[in-house]
C-alpha cells in the first residue's frame, strides 16, 4: 500500500509536468525534421549512446559517461528493487539470478560514484567559468540523489548477501560482497535490508518527480533533441515561407518575437540544455568580452517559455497547463529584451562553434537569427552601422555599394570569359562573390583563381554584372525578405544559363549556393576553390614547384571547416608550397575571424576577435597566415595591422599561383 501511494504521488507529479512540457513543444511553430532516418539513428548511436561530443573533452566526458552508462546498465535494478520491496524473497526472473549481471552492477555502480565525486570536485573545487550562471544548486541536489540511489543499491545488495538472500552467486559481486562483511546477518541486518531497499526506491521516485522541473530534464529530452537535430548541412538556415497559400499575413511567421513564435524544435532545444557551458567556452564573442553567452541565451529563452506557458495556463490555456488554442487574453512578453538583450542578439558571428560543441544538438544560430529576423523585419531595430550595408545590397546588389558594371573589371586583363545570355554554359561557373569583386585585398584571390583555372585548362566563365550578392549578409543580419529576393533572382539567372557546376572562393557564397539555394529551386554541384585546386594538383593539371621551407599556418574559415566540413583540401595546397604549422584551434574547433553574421559591417565592442586570432597565428612562429575566405583575408589583415605582428595574410590560391610552373603572368 505504501509503495502504491509513493508511486501514485511521484507518477502524478511526473506525468502532469510532462504533459505541460509536451504541450509547450506541440504549440511550437512547425518545422520539418522528418526523413534521413539512417543519419538520425547514427546520431543517436554516436552522440547519445556513445557520448561522442562529451568525450571530446576526455576528463569531463568520462565523468558524464560513467554516470550515463552506469544508469543504462543499472536500469533493470529499478524493477528488481520494486519487486524486492513487495517480496523480499523474489527478484526479476532470469536476469536477477545472473552472476555476470551482478558483476556489471557492481562495476558500474562504482563508476557512477566515481563520476559523482569527480563532478563535485570540478564544481566545488575547480569551479570552471563555464558553470557561471548555471543552476548549481539543482546540480548538487541531482548529484546527491544519484549518489543516494547508487549507495543504497550497494548497501541493499550487501545486506542481502549477509543474510544469504542473494539470488545471484555472491562472489560475482566483489564490491557488495566486501560491504556485506560490515553486517552481522542478525535481526539488525534484516531491518537494514528493508531500510536500504526503501531508501533506494524512494530516492528513485523522488528523482522521477523532480526531474521534469530541473535542469536535468535533458535526461529525457536530449535523445529526442538529437534525433530531430539537423541532418543536412549545418550552415543552412530554415527559410521563412512568405508565399504559403492559405496563410494570412497575421499568422505568417517573421522570426521569433515571443515564445509563441519559436518552432517546436527550438522549444525542445531549450528543454535539452545541460547548462554545461561548452558552447560558452567555444564562443568567440564570449571569449573576447562580449555580452553573448550561448548557454545563458538558451537558458533565458527556456525561462521565458516556462513563464509564458504557466501564465497561459492560468489564463485558461491548454489541457493540464498545456498551451492549447483557447488561451484567453494572454499575451506573451517579448523575447527581446524579456529573455535576452539586444546586445546579446547582435554579438553573434554565426560561426557555429556553439553548435559544434553542444553535446545535445542545440541549434543556437537558428535561435539568434530568428530573433534578428523579428527585430529587423517587424520592429526595424538593428545596429545603425549595418544600415548602409543593407541599403547597398538592396540598391547596388552588393554590400560595397559599387556599380554592378564594375564587377568584372578585375577579369578584363586576364581574358576571362563573361557569360552572356544565350551563351553555352561552361564546364564550371566561377562565382566570384562581392568581396573578391570589389575589395582590393580580396580581389587578388579572384585573379589567382582565374590564372590557375586557365593554367589547368578548365572551361570556366563568370557572370560579371549578372552576378548579384547571394544575400548571405542580409540573411544573417535578419532580413529574410532581401535574402529571398536575391536567392530567387540568382537562381533564375543560373538556371537560365544552364549552370550545373559552380566553384566559389568565398565560403559564405559557397554555403549559400550549396545549402540554401536548393530551398529556392537552385540545385547545383558547388565546390570551394580550394577543393577544385587541390583536385587539379592531384591530377597533375597544376604542377607546383618544390615545396619551400617557409612555415605556413592555415586559418580554417568557420563557414568552410565547421559549417561544411572542408578541411583537407586547403591544407593540401599549403603542404604543396610550404611547411604547414597548425594553430592550437583548428579544423572544426577553429576560432572565428570575426566577420560572420554580418559583422564585417558592424562595430565590435571590447577585445577584437580578429586580433585574438592573429595573436594565435603569430604564436606558431609562422611567417605566413594562409586563408581560404575573402572575409578572413580582410579581417585578419586588419588584425595584423592592429597588433603589429609580422604576418603575411594570403589566400591559398595566391600561394599556389606563386609556385605553379608555367603559370600565366
Nearest to 434, CA basis, from 640, 605, 629, 189? 629
My answer on whether 588 and 651 are in the same domain is: yes
Is residue 472, in this structure, part of any structural domain at all? Answer: yes
Contacts of 236 (CB under 8 A, 6+ apart): 230, 511, 515, 516, 519
In degrees and rounded to multiples of 5, residue 527 shows phi and psi of -125, 150
What would the mean pLDDT of 113-133 be, rounded to a whole number? 94
Give the span between the Cα atoms of 499 and 487, in whole angstroms. Answer: 15
Q: What is the CATH number of the domain that holds 147?
A: 1.20.950
Global model pTM greater than 0.85? yes
Burial of residue 104 (CB within 10 Å: 0-12, 13-18, 19+) is middle
% the chain with pLDDT above 70? 96
561-584 pLDDT tens trace: 999 999 999 999 999 999 999 999
Considering the domain boundaries, does residue 26 fall inside one? no
C-alpha to C-alpha distance for 634 and 600, rounded to whole angstroms: 9
Expressed as residue numbers, the domain containing 603 is 544-657
Among residues 381, 412, 435, the one where a domain terminates is 381
Same domain assignment for residues 530 and 645: no
pLDDT of 421 over the 80 cut: yes
Q: pLDDT-based confidence at 252, cuts 50/70/90?
A: confident
Q: Is residue 12 part of a domain?
A: no
Last residue of a domain, one of 381, 410, 443: 381
- Of 2-16, 495-509, 651-665, the poorest mean pLDDT is in 651-665
Task: Cell numbers for 550, please give them.
Answer: 617557409
Q: Are 72 and 50 in contact (CB under 8 A)?
A: no
pLDDT band at 250 (very low <50, low <70, confident <90, very high): low
Whether residue 24 is contained in a domain is answered as: no
Are 303 and 333 found together in one domain?
A: yes
Q: Would residue 233 count as lying in a domain?
A: no
Q: Total structural domains in the chain?
A: 4
pLDDT value, residue 318: 56
Helix (H, G, I), strand (E, B) or coil at 383: coil
How far does CA 481 lie from the centroid of its chain? 25
Residue 322's pLDDT is 46
Residue 327 shares a structural domain with residue 369: yes
Residue 478: what are its φ and ψ, rounded to 5°?
115, -5
Do 560 and 611 reside in the same domain of the chain? yes
End-of-domain residue from the set 491, 513, 536: 536
- All three cell numbers of 316, joined, read 485558461
Q: Is residue 388 part of a domain?
A: no
The answer to whether residues 548 and 628 belong to one domain is yes
Q: How many CB atoms lie within 10 A of CB 128?
A: 11
Do 352 and 401 lie in one domain? The reply is: no
- pLDDT above 50 (res 487): yes
Say yes or no: 549 and 532 in one domain: no
The reply to whether 664 falls in a domain is: no
Average predicted confidence (pLDDT) for the chain: 94
Instruction: Tell the residue number behind the cell numbers 521516485, with chain if given.
Output: 205
Tell me: do 196 and 314 sit in the same domain.
no
What whole-number percentage of the chain has pLDDT above 90? Answer: 91
* Mean pLDDT on 587-600: 97
Dihedral sign for Cα 441, 443, 448, 451, please. negative
Mean pLDDT of the region 292-306: 97
CATH label of the domain that carries residue 525? 3.40.50
Q: Which long-range contacts (CB under 8 A, 24 or more apart) does 179-184 make?
A: 179/154, 179/155, 182/158, 183/158, 183/159
Give the distance, in angstroms, between the CA of residue 530 and the centroid of all CA atoms in the same chain. Answer: 25
C-beta of residue 632 within 8 angstroms of C-beta of residue 555: yes
Name the packing angle between helices 136-162 and 58-86 (round to 10°): 50
Co-location of 530 and 551 in the same domain: no
Q: Do both 57 and 155 map to the same domain?
A: yes
Taking the chain, what is the end-to-end CA distance rounded to the nearest angstrom?
A: 91
Write the CATH number for 364: 1.10.1060
Kindly report, residue by residue over 169-186, the tens digit of the pLDDT: 999 999 999 999 999 888
Beta-carbon neighbour count of residue 151 at 10 Å? 19
Say how many residues make up the chain. Answer: 665
Closest CA to 280 of 364, 366, 360, 216: 364
Give strand pairing partners of 502. Answer: 429, 526
49 and 146 in a single domain? The answer is yes
- Output the pLDDT for position 234: 82
Which pLDDT band holds residue 193 (cuts at 50, 70, 90)?
very high
* In-domain check, residue 420: yes
Amino acid at each position: 500500500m505504501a509503495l502504491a501511494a509513493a508511486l501514485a504521488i511521484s507518477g502524478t507529479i511526473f506525468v502532469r509536468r510532462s504533459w505541460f512540457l509536451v504541450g509547450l513543444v506541440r504549440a511550437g511553430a512547425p518545422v520539418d525534421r522528418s526523413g534521413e532516418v539512417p543519419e538520425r539513428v547514427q546520431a543517436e548511436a554516436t552522440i547519445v549512446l556513445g557520448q561522442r561530443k562529451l568525450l571530446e573533452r576526455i576528463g569531463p566526458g568520462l565523468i558524464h559517461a560513467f554516470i550515463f552508462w552506469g544508469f543504462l546498465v543499472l536500469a533493470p535494478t529499478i524493477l528488481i528493487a520494486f519487486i524486492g520491496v513487495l517480496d523480499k524473497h523474489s527478484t526479476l526472473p532470469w536476469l536477477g539470478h545472473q552472476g555476470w549481471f551482478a558483476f556489471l552492477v557492481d562495476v558500474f555502480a562504482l563508476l557512477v560514484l566515481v563520476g559523482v565525486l569527480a563532478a563535485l570536485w570540478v564544481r566545488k573545487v575547480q569551479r570552471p567559468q563555464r558553470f557561471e550562471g548555471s543552476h548549481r544548486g539543482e546540480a548538487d541536489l541531482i548529484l546527491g540523489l544519484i549518489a543516494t540511489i547508487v549507495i543504497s543499491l550497494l548497501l541493499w545488495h550487501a545486506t542481502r548477501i549477509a543474510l544469504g538472500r542473494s539470488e545471484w552467486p555472491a562472489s560475482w559481486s566483489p564490491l557488495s560482497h566486501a560491504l556485506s562483511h560490515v553486517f552481522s546477518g542478525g535481526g539488525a541486518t534484516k531491518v537494514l535490508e528493508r531500510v536500504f531497499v526503501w531508501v533506494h526506491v524512494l530516492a528513485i521516485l523522488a528523482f522521477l518527480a523532480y526531474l521534469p522541473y530541473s535542469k536535468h530534464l535533458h535526461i529525457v529530452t536530449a535523445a529526442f533533441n538529437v534525433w530531430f537535430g539537423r541532418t543536412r548541412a549545418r550552415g543552412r538556415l530554415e527559410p521563412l515561407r512568405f508565399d504559403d497559400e492559405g496563410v494570412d499575413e497575421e499568422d505568417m511567421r517573421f522570426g521569433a518575437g515571443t515564445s509563441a513564435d519559436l518552432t517546436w524544435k527550438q522549444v525542445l532545444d531549450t528543454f535539452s540544455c545541460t547548462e554545461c557551458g561548452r558552447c560558452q567556452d567555444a564562443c568567440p564573442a564570449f571569449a573576447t568580452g562580449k555580452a553573448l553567452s550561448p548557454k545563458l541565451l538558451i537558458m533565458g529563452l527556456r525561462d521565458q517559455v516556462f513563464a509564458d506557458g504557466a501564465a497561459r495556463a492560468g489564463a485558461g490555456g491548454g489541457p493540464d497547463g498545456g498551451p492549447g488554442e483557447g488561451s484567453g487574453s494572454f499575451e506573451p512578453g517579448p523575447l527581446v529584451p524579456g529573455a535576452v538583450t539586444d546586445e546579446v542578439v547582435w554579438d553573434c558571428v554565426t560561426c557555429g562553434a556553439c553548435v559544434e560543441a553542444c553535446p545535445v544538438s542545440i541549434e543556437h544560430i537558428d535561435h539568434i537569427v530568428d530573433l534578428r529576423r523579428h527585430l529587423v523585419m517587424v520592429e526595424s531595430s538593428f545596429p545603425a552601422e549595418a544600415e548602409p550595408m543593407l541599403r547597398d545590397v538592396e540598391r547596388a546588389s552588393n554590400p560595397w555599394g559599387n556599380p554592378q558594371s564594375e564587377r568584372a573589371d578585375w577579369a578584363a586583363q586576364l581574358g576571362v570569359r563573361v557569360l552572356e545570355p544565350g551563351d553555352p554554359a561552361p564546364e564550371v561557373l566561377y562565382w566570384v562573390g562581392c568581396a573578391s569583386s570589389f575589395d582590393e585585398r580580396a580581389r587578388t584571390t579572384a585573379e589567382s583563381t582565374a590564372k590557375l583555372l586557365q593554367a589547368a585548362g578548365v572551361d570556366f566563365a563568370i557572370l560579371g554584372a549578372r552576378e548579384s550578392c547571394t544575400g548571405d549578409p542580409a540573411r544573417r543580419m535578419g532580413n529574410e525578405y532581401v535574402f529571398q529576393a536575391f536567392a530567387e533572382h540568382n537562381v533564375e539567372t543560373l538556371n537560365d544559363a544552364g549552370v550545373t557546376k559552380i566553384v566559389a572562393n568565398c565560403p559564405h557564397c559557397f554555403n549559400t549556393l550549396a545549402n540554401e539555394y536548393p530551398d529556392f529551386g537552385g540545385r547545383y554541384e558547388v565546390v570551394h576553390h580550394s577543393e577544385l585546386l587541390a583536385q587539379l594538383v592531384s591530377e597533375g593539371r597544376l604542377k607546383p614547384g618544390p615545396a619551400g621551407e617557409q612555415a605556413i599556418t592555415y586559418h580554417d574559415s568557420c563557414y568552410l571547416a565547421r559549417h561544411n566540413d572542408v578541411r583537407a583540401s586547403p591544407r593540401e595546397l599549403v603542404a604543396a608550397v610550404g611547411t604547414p604549422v597548425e594553430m592550437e584551434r583548428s579544423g572544426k574547433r577553429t576560432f572565428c575571424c570575426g566577420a560572420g553574421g554580418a559583422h564585417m559591417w558592424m562595430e565590435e565592442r571590447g577585445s577584437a576577435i580578429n586580433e585574438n586570432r592573429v595573436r594565435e597565428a603569430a604564436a606558431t612562429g609562422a611567417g605566413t597566415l594562409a586563408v581560404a575566405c575573402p572575409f578572413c583575408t580582410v579581417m585578419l589583415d586588419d588584425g595584423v595591422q592592429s597588433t603589429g605582428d609580422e604576418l603575411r595574410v594570403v589566400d591559398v590560391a595566391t600561394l599556389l599561383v606563386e609556385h605553379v610552373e608555367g603559370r600565366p603572368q
